[in-house]
Amino acid sequence: MNFLAPTSLLFGLTIPVVVVFYLLKRKRVVKLVSSTLLWQKFISETQASAPFQKLRRNWLLILQIIMLILAVLALSRPYFATHAKSSQLRVLILDASASMQATDEMPSRFEKARKDALQWVDSLRDDDKMVVLQVAGTTEVRQSETGDKSALRRAIQSCQAIDSPTRLVPALKMAESLVRDRGKDSNSEIHLFSDGAVPDLKEFENKALPLIYHKVGQGANNLGITGLDVRANPEDATQRAIYVSVMNFSTNKMETELELSLDGKVVDARHLAINGGETSAQVFLASQTSDGVFTVHLTTQDDLAADNTASIVSLLPHPVKVLLVTRGNRFLERALRSTPNVELTTAPDLGNDGSTYDFVVLDNVIPTVWPIGNILAFHVMQTNWFDKVSQVDSPAIVDWKATHPLLRYVGFDNVPIGKSFAVKPPSWGVSLLDSPQDSLMVAGELGRQRIVWVGFDSLESYWPYRFSFPIFIQNAADWLNPANAKSSQLLVRAGDAFRLGLSQPEASAQITLPDGATRKLTLETNANEIVFGDTFHQGIYRLHVGTNDTTFCVDLLDADESNIKPREELVLGSYTKVAATKLQRTNMELWRSIAAIALLVLMIEWWYYHRRTA
Amino acid sequence: MPNPLLTPELLRRLEQFQLLAARRAKSSARGERRSRARGQSVEFADHRNYVPGDDFRYLDWNLYGRLERLFLKLYEEERELPVRIFLDASESMSFGEPRKFDFARQIAAAVGYVALCGFDRVTVAAFPDNRNETAIRGALRTVRGRKSALNFFQNLTQLTATGAANLNEALRRGALEARQAGVAVVLSDFLDPAGYDAGLTALVARGFQVNAVQILAPEELSPSTFGDLRLVDAETGGLQEVTFGRYRMAAYQQTVQNFCQRLREFCQARGIHFFSVSSNTVLEHLLLKQLRQAEVWG
């Protein structure tokens, strides 16, 4: 047996009150009278001597009738359908991302959202159904479609906020499919309980989603670490440079101490004063004798604590061994040699798989044996990489992807190209340089091999004469360096899976979580990679596989998520917006209120009865 | 000497009244009431034949002249009317404001005074018995003549109301004790758990012309105490718990009316004059108007 409103069982506490009423002994006034004969006759006459008597106006009777009407009303469970549309299915999406941990609502936004959501469950009619989705880095179905309120409550109670940014798109897609299945006339609704800190929802612009956005949150008092990187100091290779971006998301100037610690020991601290809406970029220089973890921490007490700490694994640099396979290209060779920490070897051909080098540069040469490591290839035809390769003459450059790490500070203004291969961007890579026909430059990861493919020979363009060329070579050396790739693997955004390649098969692995708990992973027999998805809380994770220990860090580092100012509306593309609903809980069922009024009337009746006999 | 029971003005007006008896007096003592007995008076009753030994003074000589036979003239004997007043002196009569017993004594004094003025014999039977008042009650057992009125009033004044009454027993005993029936006046609240039927029936059966006056206190007619009450019967000590409020006043008063109505119907069925009064009724109104209209006296 289940109860639709188990909390109503608390009304049972009124039973002792009734018993107390009866326990109370009536205090009677003793009075001496001439004779009790008349009183005896009076009592016997007023007792029921006949089945019926004339109905008189009696306030007690009226009160009791009112109470009975109220009780009957309560039992009939009336409701108003004024605020809420009649609905058959409600998809309830509960935002459990990091920003929902903000404490501008007491005790937190997430708890407030949970409370609001529970009230919506209470307002469900008997024939309504609800689905509960929890969304953060991933979307979880906490409760499939049901009208069982206790199950829905349990599902909502089981949700927990995590340190992950919000990825609402999958949740909305799932909700959309659920709603669509119901048909157009179902009046189904999608209720999103969130602060609106969500990425672009452009793909839902024209979907006419029945989305109702319940805004949670009030303030935006937050300082957050939005960027963290560690590199060798360009001016002193013996030191490490830690780049930290701290942004003030409030409108007021805020002050804080920014502490830097290495493996738990504070090595530097700075006082920051950041104006509202501004970002402070800080560079720390620190000596490091072995691999370690740098942690930065903001000491300020703001509304969101999850973005006040971030960690990064810093591996000591090793010389990068590069093999340049070329028939002669002085520009390329000089550019590679000028790249710091590079040990360059040149060869006209590649006779082996190049496994002794960190990466191989193929310059207009098709090697006898293709290297198994990372590759930077200029004007090389490799049919395994692309479906179709075409040749274009004097291609015009229309766009390049300046945000990609390879093209950082790299421009292609005034770079004429003689002739080039052009390809359609493959599934494993992204196009970095676009001509009107196809892509001239592709970068990506094929298997576990990083590839940068440039369609044209550098010597058949003016690129080597531009500043952007050596910068690109240096960026490519960084990106293709396996040590850097490993470093980037060791920094995981909360909610993303951590992946680590295995050199030899292992049966199991053990992970120590930031809170000290350990988790044992059982690996498949032929697994060549460890994938660990339970990265919901930021901090330092330690993985033990075989005889190796690997440390990786999980951070939020998301400006969208740190911007905790609750959005008044959700933007779906350029033209569609969903404003935060002003609707409160519909409270369709009134019986609880009516029962409360009935109880009040009962009290009044009791009081009136005693008053008039006083 | 001032009379605490009745004012001189009321006494003077009462002197004009005479108890009206529907039946002829049966007393053996001479008085001023007509009786069926033959005796000496001025009222001619009948003739009868002369028998030797009769007093010659009563021979009707005119008849002898016409018929030449001797007839004797007979006259009605005037006898006294016994008036018996049953006064309830139980504890319940000491209640009320003014006290029911005080009001009852005033009525008794008025009835007694009217009877004394009419040369009737007055007997006041106070019940229940009270050993402390044996002398007073003995003095009230037989009172004759107007000159006894003062003592009569004084004795009435000294009576007290105490103890538990048995109305039926008192009335039955009074009916048996009376040598001749006369006028009986019953002054009580009739709030006897044992009832009143047997006593009143015994009086009527004995030949009394019964007048019943029920005296109730204003508090009994319209109680002013409300709430959860534990009532203690002053006579029996019995307890009665009741929750009483203004909303039940009408029902209570209906109960009292029903009780009085049953008593009234009982009396009417037996030719008993019945009066129900509150102890705060104006005495003159009862004596000079109600009793007169009911032809208790005239």
CATH number, residue A107: 3.40.50.410
Q: Please name which of A504, A554, A553 lies closest in space to residue A530, comparing C-alpha atoms.
A: A504
Asked if pLDDT for residue A543 goes beyond 80, the answer is: yes
Q: Are residues A333 and A190 in the same domain?
A: no
pLDDT of residue A1 exceeding 60, the answer is no
Whole-number Å distance between alpha carbons of B229 and B232: 9
A306 found inside a domain:
yes
Mean pLDDT of B248-269: 93
Q: Say if the Cβ atoms of A613 and B231 lie within 8 Å.
A: no
In this prediction, residue A503 has a pLDDT band, given cuts at 50, 70 and 90, of confident
Q: Using an 8 Å Cβ cutoff, are A253 and A274 in contact? A: yes
Give domain status of residue A334, yes or no: yes
Is pLDDT above 90 for B184?
Answer: yes
Check if B102 contacts A (Cβ < 8 Å).
no
Separation CA B258–CA B276 (nearest Å): 12
Question: Does some domain include residue B171?
Answer: yes
The answer to whether residue B174 neighbours chain A at the CB level (below 8 Å) is no
How many angstroms from the chain centroid is the CA of residue A338? 42
Average pLDDT, chain B: 86
**Range scoring the smallest mean pLDDT among A121-130, A319-328, B178-187:** A121-130
SS3 for A362? strand
pLDDT range class, residue B172, cuts 50, 70, 90: very high
- Domain assignment present for residue B70? The answer is yes
Q: Which pLDDT belongs to residue B1?
A: 44
- Strand ranges for B129-208 from DSSP E: 183-188
Look at residue B29 and tell me if it is in a domain: no
The Cα A109–Cα A115 span in angstroms is: 10
* C-alpha distance from A72 to closest chain B C-alpha (Å): 29
Residues A368 and A469 in one domain: yes
pLDDT at residue A212, rounded to an integer: 87
Q: Pick the range with the lowest mean pLDDT from A379-383, A513-517, B229-233.
A: A379-383
Residues B106 and B217 in one domain: yes
A437 part of a folded domain: yes
Nearest to B232 among A32, A38, A58 (CB): A32
Residues B140 and B252 in one domain: yes
A304-313, A594-603, B111-120, B209-218: which range is least confident on average?
A594-603
What is the number of alpha carbons within 13 Å of residue A104 lying toward its C-beta?
A: 18
Is it the case that residue B169 has pLDDT exceeding 90? yes
Size of interface A-B (CB pairs under 8 A): 99
Query: Do the Cβ atoms of A352 and A373 come closer than 8 Å?
Result: no
Looking at the complex, does the CB of residue B52 fall below 8 Å from at least one CB of chain A?
no
Q: Is the pLDDT of residue A395 over 70?
A: yes
Structure tokens at A557: 């580092």
Task: Provide the pLDDT confidence category of residue A597 given band limits of 50, 70 and 90.
Answer: confident
Query: What does the pLDDT read at residue A469?
Result: 93
What's A164's DSSP letter?
A: P
Q: What is the residue range of B74's domain?
A: 34-79
Average pLDDT, rounded, for chain A: 84
Assign residue A501 the CATH number of its domain: 2.60.40.1930
Same domain, A387 and A468: yes
Q: Is residue B2 part of a domain?
A: no
What's the residue count for chain B? 298
Q: Which of B189, B228, B236 to mutate to test the interface with A (most CBs of A within 10 A)?
A: B228
Find the range with the poorest average confidence among A178-182, A429-433, B126-130, B206-210: A178-182
Same domain membership, residue B243 and residue B194:
yes
Q: By CA distance, what is B239's nearest residue in A? A: A36
Instruction: Determine the distance in angstroms separating the CA of B175 from the nearest CA of chain A, rounded to an integer.
Output: 26
| A452 shares a domain with A341 | yes
CATH number for B93: 3.40.50
Determine contact, residues A156/A121, Cβ cutoff 8 Å.
yes
Examine residue A254 and state whether it is found in any structural domain, yes or no: yes
Report residue A242 as tokens: 């830690």
- What is the rounded average pLDDT of the residues A160-181? 87
* CA–CA dist A289, A411 (Å, integer): 37
* CB-CB under 8 Å, A45 with B229: no
Mean pLDDT, rounded, for B28-45: 61
Q: For A30, name the nearest residue in chain B, comparing CA atoms only.
A: B230
Is the pLDDT assigned to residue B24 strictly greater than 60? Answer: no
Contact B97/B280 with Cβ under 8 angstroms? yes
CB of B174 closer than 8 Å to CB of B182: no
- Asked if B72 and B94 sit in the same domain, the reply is no
Residues B163 and B225 in one domain: yes
Q: Which of A260, A309, A308 is nearest to A288 (CA)?
A: A260
pLDDT band for position A612 (cuts 50, 70, 90): low
A84 within domain boundaries: no
B193 → closest Cβ in A37, A42, A614: A37
Q: Do B19 and B88 share a domain, yes or no?
A: yes
Name the pLDDT band for A125 (thresholds 50, 70, 90): confident
Measured distance CA(A166)–CA(A156) in Å, rounded: 18
On the question of pLDDT at A288 being above 60, the answer is: yes
**Count of other CB atoms within 10 angstroms of residue B293:** 9
A36 lies in the same domain as A102 = no
Average pLDDT (A239-261) is 91
Nearest-neighbour CA in chain B from A71: distance (Å): 27
Residue to mutate among A37, A43, A59, A609, with most B CBs inside 10 A, is A37
Q: At what angle do helices B149-157 and B100-117 cross, to 10 degrees?
A: 170
Residues of B in contact with A24 (CB under 8 A): none
- Answer yes or no: is B1 within a domain: no
**C-beta separation of B81 from B21 below 8 A:** yes
Together in a domain, A511 and A534: yes
Q: Are residues B159 and B58 in the same domain?
A: no
| pLDDT at position A548 over 90 | no
Q: Do A31 and B230 touch (CB under 8 A)?
A: yes
- With beta carbons under 8 A apart, name residues in chain B contacting A38: 191, 220, 252, 255-256, 259
Q: Looking at the structure, tell me whether residues B46 and B160 fall in a common domain.
A: no
Same domain, B230 and B166: yes
**What pLDDT score was predicted for residue A53?**
60
What ipTM was estimated for this complex?
A: 0.84
> Does residue A270 form part of some domain?
yes
**Would you say residue B127 lies in a domain?**
yes
Mean pLDDT of B112-136: 90
Between A21 and A391, whose confidence is greater? A391
Total of domains in chain A: 5
What total number of domains does chain B contain? 2
Residue A430 belongs to a domain with what CATH number?
3.40.50.880
At which of A486, A503, A534 does a domain end?
A486
Tell me, yes or no, whether B123 lies in a domain. yes
Gap between the Cα atoms of A602 and A595, Å rounded: 10
| Dihedral (Cα; A21, A24, A25, A26), 10-degree rounding | -60
- Residue B228 and residue A38: Cβ atoms within 8 Å? no
- Residue A600 has a pLDDT of 87
* Residue A64, pLDDT above cutoff 60: yes
Q: Do B264 and B233 share a structural domain?
A: yes
Is the CB of residue A195 less than 8 Å from the CB of residue A168? no
**pLDDT > 70 in chain A, percent:** 90
Q: How far is CA A519 from CA A217, A545, B261, in A?
A: 34, 12, 98
- Which chain A residue has its CA at the smallest distance from B247's CA? A612
Cα distance between the two ends of chain B: 27
From A317, A335, A353, give the residue that closes a domain.
A317
Structural domain for A522, as ranges: 489-555
Residue B180 pLDDT > 60, yes or no?
yes
A180 lies in a domain?
A: yes
pLDDT at B37: 57
Does A293 lie in the same domain as A339?
no
Same domain, B64 and B198: no
Q: B287: which 2 tokens?
A: 């004596």
pLDDT of A52 over the 90 cut: no
Give which of A31, A35, A39, A611 to mutate to test B binding, by max B Cβ within 10 Å: A35
Q: What average pLDDT does this structure show over A539-567?
A: 88
State residue A137 phi and psi, 5-degree precision: -70, -35
> Which tokens go with A229?
């990187």
Q: Mark whether B45 and B137 lie in a shared domain.
A: no
A192 and A128 within one domain? yes
Does the residue A504 lie in any domain?
yes
A394 and A335 co-located in one domain: yes
Q: Is residue B89 situated within a structural domain? A: yes
